Each structure stands twice: as C-alpha cells, then as structure tokens.
Amino acid sequence: MTYKDLAALVASIAKALGCDYHYYDDGERDVIKTPYLLFDYPDRDDLKADNRNYVKIQRFNLEYDSRRKDIEAEQKIEDLLDAADLSYSKEDTRYEGHDAYGVMYSMEVAING
C-alpha cells in the first residue's frame, strides 16, 4: 500500500459516511462539525535488515467522531478497512465536555512506493 492508497481509502470512507475528513490536529476537534474523520501517521517501526530499512511499517490511525455512537457508520468503516485487507484495533471514547463520541481504528501498514 502507498500513502496515496491510504489517502484514497480515507476519502472513500468519508464519502461512504457523508462526512468531512481532516489530518489530525490537536485543536481541530473544537472547530469541525460532527460527524467527521481524522487521520494521522503517528510513528513508524520499519523492519530493518542489511543496514537498510527493508519494509516501511507505518502506524496509521483513523478516528470517526460523532454526536452519538453510530453502529451503522462503524460497520461501513470496518467493511472498507476489511476490503482493503487492513488489520486494525478499535477503541471507543466518550469525550466529556464535548458532547461527542469517538471511535479510533489503529493499524500498521506496510508502505511500498
């Protein structure tokens, strides 16, 4: 998978949900109208061999924020992640004081190209 593939995946998920998407920014949550998707690449843990980075392994986070728990939206996200052959972990969060609910999908992606 390439970074361009990941960008296209985020765009297709946002389109399926009918929401906006943004690269994660700490203060962003306060100014974007829900529902929305946030994504980021927090770190990399490459597989190294023979004095080179053999496989680029990128951590990729995709967060869906809404006013309430939305099982149908979560299922759409998971269906599209499954279709892209991505293995992910999922964590739910209730944002106190923001009247919002978030679902974080975290995964590691082998980047080629």
Q: What is the pLDDT at residue 97?
A: 76
**Under CATH, what is the fold of the domain 3-111?**
STM4215-like (3.30.2000)
Mean predicted lDDT score pLDDT of the chain: 91
Q: What is the pLDDT of residues 100-112, one digit of tens each?
A: 899 999 999 999 8
CA distance 46 to 102: 29
Q: How confident is the model at residue 99 (pLDDT cuts 50, 70, 90)?
A: confident
As beta bridge partners, residue 55 has 47
Q: In the predicted model, is pLDDT for residue 37 greater than 90?
A: yes
Q: What is the DSSP letter of 47?
A: E
Tokens read off for 109: 């992606």
CA distance 82 to 96: 30
Q: What is the DSSP letter of 30?
A: G
CA distance 14 to 81: 12
What pTM value is reported for the model?
Answer: 0.87
Q: In the predicted model, is pLDDT for residue 1 greater than 60?
A: yes
Parse the chain into domains and list their residue ranges: 3-111
Q: What is the pLDDT at residue 41?
A: 93
AA identity, residue 8: A
Q: Could you tell me the CA-to-CA distances from 104 to 18, 47, 88 in Å, in that order?
A: 18, 25, 10
Q: How confident is the model at residue 27 (pLDDT cuts 50, 70, 90)?
A: low
Cβ proximity of 64 and 71 under 8 Å: no
Q: What is the pLDDT of residues 41-93, one digit of tens each?
A: 999 999 999 999 889 999 999 999 999 999 999 999 999 999 999 999 999 99
